[in-house]
Amino acid sequence: MKIIKDIKLNIDEEEVLRYQGYSKKKVKTPNQNILQIIEEEINRGYSLFEPQGIYSLIKIVSFASKGINLENGLTFKFPKSVINQLKGANHLIIGVVTIGDFLEKKISELFSQGEYSRALALDAVGTVAVEDFSREVRKLARQEAKEQDFKTSRHFSPGYSDWEVSQQEIIFKSIPADNIGVKLTKGYMMVPQKSLSWTIGVGKEIITSSEEDNNCGNCQFKYCNYKF
DSSP string, 67-94: EEEETTS-EE---HHHHHHTTT-SEEEE
CATH number at residue 111: 3.40.109.40
* Residue 25 maps to a domain: yes
46, 130 contact by CB (below 8 A)? no
* Residue 6 maps to a domain: yes
* Residue 55 maps to a domain: yes
Confidence at residue 27, expressed as pLDDT on a 0 to 100 scale: 57
Specify the long-range contacts of residues 208-217, CB closer than 8 Å, at least 24 apart: 208/151, 208/152, 208/153, 209/85, 209/152, 209/153, 209/154, 211/135, 211/138, 211/139, 211/142, 213/154, 214/154, 214/155
pLDDT in tens, 107-129: 999 999 999 999 999 999 999 99
Per-residue pLDDT of the chain (228 residues), as tens digits, is: 999 998 999 999 999 999 988 876 665 678 899 999 999 999 999 999 999 999 999 999 999 888 999 999 999 999 998 999 999 999 999 999 999 999 999 999 999 999 999 999 999 999 999 999 999 999 999 999 999 999 999 999 999 878 999 999 999 999 999 999 999 999 999 999 999 999 999 999 887 765 544 444 444 444 444 444
* Residue 108 maps to a domain: yes
Q: Determine the structural domain holding residue 60 and report its residue range.
A: 2-209
103, 220 contact by CB (below 8 A)? no
Q: Provide the domain count of the chain.
A: 1
What global pTM score does this model have? Answer: 0.89
The H helix count followed by the E strand count for the chain is 6, 9
* Residue 220 maps to a domain: no
* Residue 217 maps to a domain: no
CA 46 to chain centre: 19
What is the C-alpha to C-alpha distance for residues 9 and 99, in angstroms, rounded to an integer?
10
* Residue 18 maps to a domain: yes
* Residue 120 maps to a domain: yes
